[in-house]
Homo-oligomer: A and B are copies of this chain.
């Protein structure tokens, strides 16, 4: 009897495509970040702000993933950088094949930054390598302290955690020490950023991080 593990087959095929993407991006000097979070954590808002502030210094392109609509791609397009929207329909995550197809259409020659905004979801995107340099998990201060322990794979597979909407902290009962304690427990190596795209607080650290990674890739 032969047992076919559909999920394992799908993931191994995905990893193969992702490895190909990673090699190509590296050759072109493109630093790719895969942003994952709950719906409404502020991924698009942070990307728009980051693009506005860095686009004069580094070429940037964006791949947007959503179950439906091109709302996010329109917001990115307004900044003037190239963007492709992927609608995943019934799927709860982007996969490497979708990104491969989007990259062909995007025609981004590099060097530069490639931001991939995944479908808003803390479960499915954690399992899919898209050929990125690193995953970045966002969590907004309104979401409570325990997202890292409730969705550990999302935070374990990420290299950085961005705590967003810090301008709202005075109006919330968030126990920040506990959030940080939980994230350290799940992934001690996580680099943590605190910021508000609205007030601008903390953006300098975030930009410094992006620029230093970019310059490591393109010395």
| Residues of chain A having any CB pair with chain B under 8 Å | 6, 38-40, 66-69, 71, 90-92, 119-124, 127, 139-140, 142-144, 146-147, 149-153, 165, 167-168, 171-172
Contact = CB atoms under 8 A, between A and B. Distances in A.
A121 B142 contact: no
A40 B179 CA distance: 13
Contact of A150 (B71, B149, B165): B71
Copies per complex of this chain: 2
A149 B69 contact: yes
Nearest to A146: B71
27 contacts: A38-B120, A39-B143, A39-B151, A40-B144, A40-B147, A67-B122, A67-B123, A68-B149, A68-B150, A68-B152, A69-B150, A71-B146, A90-B127, A90-B153, A91-B123, A92-B92, A92-B121, A92-B123, A92-B124, A120-B122, A120-B151, A121-B121, A121-B122, A123-B124, A142-B165, A142-B168, A168-B171
A150 B150 CA distance: 24
Most buried by B among A39, A92, A127: A39
A67 B142 contact: no
A40 B137 CA distance: 14
A85 to B, nearest CB: 11
Given A90-B123, A120-B151, 8 more contacts: A6-B6, A40-B147, A67-B151, A67-B152, A69-B150, A90-B127, A92-B121, A121-B121
A6 to B, nearest CB: 6
B121 A40 contact: no
Nearest to A147: B39
A53 B149 CA distance: 29
